[in-house]
Chains A and B, each alone.
Chain A
Amino acid sequence: MPREAEISLNEREFIKQALQEQIRLDNRAFDAFRKLELTFGEEYGVADVQLGKTRVIARISIDVTTPLPERKFDGVFQIFTEFSPMASPAFEVGRPTDAEVILSRILEKAIRRSNALDTESLCIIAGLKCFALRADVHIIDHDGGLIDASCIAVMAALQHFRRPDVLVEGERATILSVREREPIPLSILHQPLCVTFSYFAEGEIFLVDANLAEEQVRNAEVIVTMNRHGEVCQIAKYGGVTVNPLAMLQCTNVALQKVKEMSKFIQQKLDEDAKRRDAGGLMAELSAENAR
């Protein structure tokens, strides 16, 4: 199992020096994201996100199970992130690296624990049957910014996904197939998105969306998750130097602006996709969705 190729001392110094002179290697502004691309697959609930050279695919799938005994009215929602050697030869199957643990923890906090998805709507019969939703995150190409890209991918896939409708008669529940009833979208309460800030020079400089080389040089990262209404879902900082609280406030301001841009972008892509699917203009008539 080879190790990740470490960045050389010269490169390290070069990047630091350049940052001191307000220049990034790819000539982006300090608070600029790389080019974001989002495509949806033929089926519902597959989102393919490209953030510069990083590429992440999220796929949502659904199943029917018994709800947990202590949460009878809730469905099950799980996010699975497993790195494969496709992204980097240093990732080994079945042996999670630190990056993988952090990624899954952040996604858990950002999306699951912030109640982005209304799990109560996944309940079919209380205590007996519920939907189990799972999100699989596949890292295809790795060039830094995995957390941001994965969060976008999962949120976009959740918004794109349609679950089959159910018919409940007393204790009997019938899952209606796609042919019988148009599947319905999930009830999403808000759309949290992550913005990762990388700190350099003892907390003097902060960068948005660092690429892999910058990630290897940075001395700390701060991950801010918020939705487009400006509600902060979580802030995580793993190790590194101490950071001025005012700088943190500055970060949340920048994050809000970025999150607004990204939410708008995702919505625009979702609308385009809905338009493409709605070929005959019959979607509104077919819809089985209940108004909230």
Chain B
Amino acid sequence: MAVPEVTLTHLNRADGSATYTHNGYSIIGAVNGPIEVSRRDEMPEEATLEVNVRPAVGVGSPKERHLESLLHNTLRSIILTRMMPRTLVQITLQVRSLPEEDEATGVNSTLTILPHLLHTSLLALLSASIPLLTTLTSLLIAVPTSSAPIISPTSTELLRAGPLQAVHVFAFAGDRRLLLNESDGAFSYDEWEEACEMAEEVCCSGGEGGVKLEGEGMDVDAQDGNLEEWLRGVVRRKVDWEQRWKKGT
């Protein structure tokens, strides 16, 4: 599995931003927050969260609204909204490009893009230093009728896999809790559980959920495609970059 490419904090105007490229999906995310909230949306004890998903072509449709509500509910559970009452955290996700074969695969396109949107928004939140309860990692699993499940398939792989029985999207918190599940197709509970375990294997690192010691996780960038390790690598590079003044030359 190819590891996503990320650029953090590259926009000048937004408080935090990230560009995320993976399997032909390219998304620009920006976070503004905490900022002043309109009277109508103000909540006395917590921050208001606003998510905007903008498609590459055309204006937002019900599909984008659906994605926004999924993201809103998932991100609400990891942002410490109670630490910033009566403010607004504004997340904008601009889809820059989709793989060419995206529409031809026949898979519900809300599901294929969802993990990428979740990762982009998390990275943008990290870049904006918004207080978070935990991190999240997310994954798409496609289960073809005739062969073994494919983890995080590219659209060409989906095309080649033939008829699909089911497609699942899972998102896990840093402590291995399941945050989000969206599934499409026909499957039994056992099949779902199998897919869920496979996703957990890739999304969460092998450790006990604690912070790894420096040294043993040094070469996380060249790893086996574990998403949490990848996320840690991204954050480590960001912190290294921000702390460079401390290290001297």
Q: A residues within 8 Å of B by Cβ?
A: 1-2, 41-43, 46, 53, 55, 57, 59, 61, 80, 82, 84-89, 93, 134, 136, 138, 140-143
Chain B CB within 10 A, most for which of A87, A134, A143: A87
From 46 to 83 in chain B, residues with beta carbon under 8 angstroms from any chain A beta carbon are: 50, 52, 54, 56-60
Q: B residues within 8 Å of A by Cβ?
A: 11-14, 17, 28, 30, 32, 35-38, 50, 52, 54, 56-60, 88, 90, 92, 94, 96-97, 100
User: A3 to B94, alpha carbons, bound, how many Å?
Assistant: 22
Shortest distance between the CB of B165 and any CB in chain A (Å): 29
Residue pair A85, B57 in contact (C-beta under 8 Å): no
User: A140 to B94, alpha carbons, bound, how many Å?
Assistant: 9
Residue pair A87, B59 in contact (C-beta under 8 Å): no
Interface of A is mostly: loop
* Cβ-closest chain B residue relative to A82: B59
Shortest distance between the CB of A62 and any CB in chain B (Å): 10
8 tightest Cβ-Cβ pairs between the two chains A and B: A86-B92, A86-B30, A2-B36, A89-B32, A53-B12, A61-B57, A1-B38, A85-B92
Shortest distance between the CB of A136 and any CB in chain B (Å): 6
Tell which of B35, B58, B97 touches A46, judged by Cβ atoms closer than 8 Å: B97
User: A53 to B14, alpha carbons, bound, how many Å?
Assistant: 12
Shortest distance between the CB of B173 and any CB in chain A (Å): 27
User: A1 to B38, alpha carbons, bound, how many Å?
Assistant: 5
Q: Which residues of A contact B90 (CB under 8 A)?
A: 85, 89
Residue pair A141, B52 in contact (C-beta under 8 Å): no
Q: Which residues of B contact A55 (CB under 8 A)?
A: 11
Residue pair A138, B54 in contact (C-beta under 8 Å): yes
Q: Which residues of B contact A57 (CB under 8 A)?
A: 96
Residue pair A88, B57 in contact (C-beta under 8 Å): no
Residue pair A43, B97 in contact (C-beta under 8 Å): yes
Q: Which residues of B contact A61 (CB under 8 A)?
A: 57
User: A224 to B51, alpha carbons, bound, how many Å?
Assistant: 37
Tell which of B37, B88, B97 touches A42, judged by Cβ atoms closer than 8 Å: B97
Residue pair A43, B14 in contact (C-beta under 8 Å): no
Tell which of B28, B35, B58 touches A86, judged by Cβ atoms closer than 8 Å: B28
Residue pair B94, A138 in contact (C-beta under 8 Å): yes
